[in-house]
Amino acid sequence: MKKFKMFLDIEKAEQWLNKQLQKGYRCTHISGLGIYTFEKTDKRYVIRLDYQDHLSKKKFKDYKGLYEDFGWEYIGGSWLGDRYWQKEDGNQNEIFSDRQSWSNHYRRLMNYSASFGLMFLFISYLIYNDSGLYLTEGLWSMEGALFWLALLFETPFVLLRSLPFLMAVLLGCSFFKAFRKYSMLKEA
């Protein structure tokens, strides 16, 4: 079974994956594009996520070996540095992730969100600077059925031109959520 799911919060990703395990589906692969592959199982498993900054091949091999020595199976990772680990449910179900690695994760997420959000905000400025949203000349002076026809025709294009601004808003929300979690980790 394959499912497509995207998460901005890796804690929610971990919770969702563990719910799938409770339903009897073991995760076998996670692609970088958010496609999760599952297989039916009778055994009980647990999934944990860890965050690591970019690791060289040698450091990644050592990192992976350490977890495998404790019974964890590496499922995959994302380009943000999230690492997915799974093992049979047992007495040691926690991994070795520390506060510093989590704060690094949220700091990196804040940087990505801010960078891309500002880029989309700039693109929005370029799109709306002189023209506005509706480009049909004389639209607001039209009357009756002609007005409604022109408005309905133009609205899908307006929605497409609004996408950069909507992306900027979503990335701004992502930034503030990551900032809140980053601040909580720094305070504790």
Domain coordinates of the chain in residue numbers?
2-88, 99-187
Residue-level pLDDT at 73: 87
Q: How far apart are CA 168 and CA 131, in angstroms?
A: 19
CA dihedral 51, 55, 57, 63 (to 10 degrees): -50
Q: How far apart are CA 188 and CA 186, in angstroms?
A: 6
| Contact criterion met (CB below 8 Å) for 105 and 82 | yes
Strands 73-77 and 82-88: antiparallel
Residue 92 pLDDT more than 70?
A: no
Residue 187 pLDDT more than 90?
A: no
Q: How far apart are CA 21 and CA 26, in angstroms?
A: 6
| Contact criterion met (CB below 8 Å) for 113 and 72 | no
109 band by pLDDT with thresholds 50, 70 and 90: confident
Q: How far apart are CA 17 and CA 48, in angstroms?
A: 9
Q: Which helix (H) or strand (E) holds 173?
A: helix 144-187
- Reading the block at residue 21, the tokens are 């395990």
Q: Range with the lowest mean pLDDT among 20-24, 40-44, 57-61, 131-135?
A: 131-135
91 band by pLDDT with thresholds 50, 70 and 90: low
| Contact criterion met (CB below 8 Å) for 71 and 88 | yes
Place of tokens 């496609």: 35
Cα 167 → chain centroid:
13
Mean pLDDT value across residues 59-87: 82
27's CB contacts (< 8 A; 6+ apart) are 17, 20, 21, 36, 37, 38, 47, 75, 84, 86
